[in-house]
Structure 1
């Protein structure tokens, strides 16, 4: 006896469409849609008719048919029409949306820059200390701290913060081993700025010492 299996094919169908976005330079977007079909459709993403490829575009697919496209650190040229096309041997379907990313600062993208450097400080072991920098630049701004050329590790001895364009490295109680070369770095997609402080913590019996701040012009 021959058993015949009736396999039903179904063309792709979007049961959830991607949505338009209006956001700003430096932000991120995530287009999401839900597609069905049998056999399971393959999906490709396009912008203004051009297939999206490269590390900037993160396309993901879930087992339930949920599709997503994430783009981080947006620039103005990311504005345009985005399209998701699903295909299987039974047919093709598509869904479209528009992303609008206006330029900031009257179409000028401002590079990251340190505009106020850490003040001169005097430190004796056991005292608190703060290195503070004020910065400017178009978001998204990224900060990094280094000691003696190596990334500054997480520690309960100090707190690192960045709020309202002010970056701080706050020591709760300095120790002599905290001495070293501290570098603060601020960056965005169009610029980078850094400043290095030669920071010395003296023993209780030593006189206070003024730190030497070295910043590139």
Structure 2
């Protein structure tokens, strides 16, 4: 059941063009101690159960699978599960809109307001509020990045997702259905914000 949820999400995300080549990684929480994650180097539109690994919350595989290994970015997924018991699924994607906007953000946050689609994000009931997503500098040191996420979370728990500059989006939800909704809503908001910037309106 859990593997199929990831497979279905991967096919849908691939159809949107949000995760080209073999980029990105997806996961779902299995219990309080383990998660199921996509293996490194797999095209997300053609996943099978053999492309997934069970890992503990330190990102280490629970079984020795010689021909598969978790992505280094698995550590960010498991850190999110450790930070909040309410997170049940995480989707990391590489869309053009999220990547470009992450580079245009001039502060530690990307702020969006005035869009009806903000109501697709859990806890939002109006377009009038300003929502914001944390933006982190890109690095190949996932341990360092996970530490930065933890530090920011201690100051202010993050909602719905965060951006990595020049890299992409991490979106999450209480389960896979909500994670997919948040991803879709955020991508729509990113596309609107990017188009507004092209027009010089914001």
Q: Shorter-chain TM-score: what band?
A: under 0.3
Q: When you count strand as a share of all residues, which structure comes out higher?
A: 1
Query: TM-score with structure 2 length normalisation?
Result: 0.24
Q: When you count helix as a share of all residues, which structure comes out higher?
A: 2
Please say which structure displays the higher CA radius of gyration: 1
